[in-house]
Amino acid sequence: MIISTMQQIREVIALIFLAVFTKAVNASKPYWWPSDTAAGYCLSWRLGVEANNIRAWRTVPAQCSRHVELYMIAGQYQRDVNLIVDNICSYVDGINVSNDGLDAWILDVDDTCISNLFYYGEKRYGCEPFDPFGFKAWAMKGVCPAIPDILRLFNKLIQSGFKVFLVTGRDEETLGQATNDNLSAQGFIGYERLILRTAAYKGQSAIVYKSDIRKQLVEEGYRIWGNVGDQWSDLQGEYTGSRTFKLPNPMYFVP
């Protein structure tokens, strides 16, 4: 009888604690906590995009324009990239770089090394369909700012003795010089090679194109220790390297 009574008391205390705890949590939700169904959906949508569970999407859902804007400009994007780069740097510190000059890293360019945030801000942060001619005109200006943490990583890789290859889907014929000048102006100096898409890869998916580039590097004798990109297509396929690192990008999808 006593044991039964004590069990009942414990159950009542547990229920009271749960009620108090739930009330306290609800009263102290952080600023980003979804206040309505639409906000909650946008958080879930962005998670699905970054986890690659949502694929081949063409535009950001219209109701998520403000959500993506705040994510990109209000500090969380910067914090996320900082955390990722800190982890990459820890991985780099554990690699014994050889003296044969064949330890390599691959970095994507758009929204990995340099940012197109200003351009996509005019496109409602991805809610409008991709405009290849408009983007080309933007890229020709050569004013994309560096993503600070990736520049920090880039400099660490160079100083550590890695050969850094910048691999981009930008067209070599029309955007080669503008891209090179943009990267140099933003501090990306000392990389081994800037590789752009040539006519031979016209019409091929990013996965096929970048896999072939990585294959060529491996056949040249390079050991790819790391591969960083903002698109899953930067990191999929063959010869991806010892480790891949995905940066967040909820503004567009590249197959």
Output DSSP code: residue 201. Answer: G
Mean pLDDT, contiguous 10-residue spans, the chain (255 residues): 55 49 43 65 97 97 96 98 98 98 98 98 97 97 98 98 98 98 98 98 97 98 98 98 98 97
Output DSSP code: residue 130. Answer: P
- The reply to whether 186 falls in a domain is yes
- The reply to whether 3 falls in a domain is no
At residue 39, the pLDDT reads: 86
CATH of residue 144: 3.40.50.1000
At residue 23, the pLDDT reads: 47
Give the residue carrying structure tokens 């547990």: 14
- The reply to whether 10 falls in a domain is no
Which stretch of DSSP H or E encloses residue 120? Answer: helix 117-121
How would DSSP label each residue in 118-148? HHHHTTGGGTSPP-HHHHHHHHHH--PPB-H
**Encoded tokens for 30:** 């952080």
At residue 12, the pLDDT reads: 54
At residue 37, the pLDDT reads: 76
**Encoded tokens for 112:** 């990995």
Domains identified in the chain, total number: 1
Write out the residue range of the structural domain in which residue 63 sits.
37-246
At residue 18, the pLDDT reads: 44
- The reply to whether 193 falls in a domain is yes
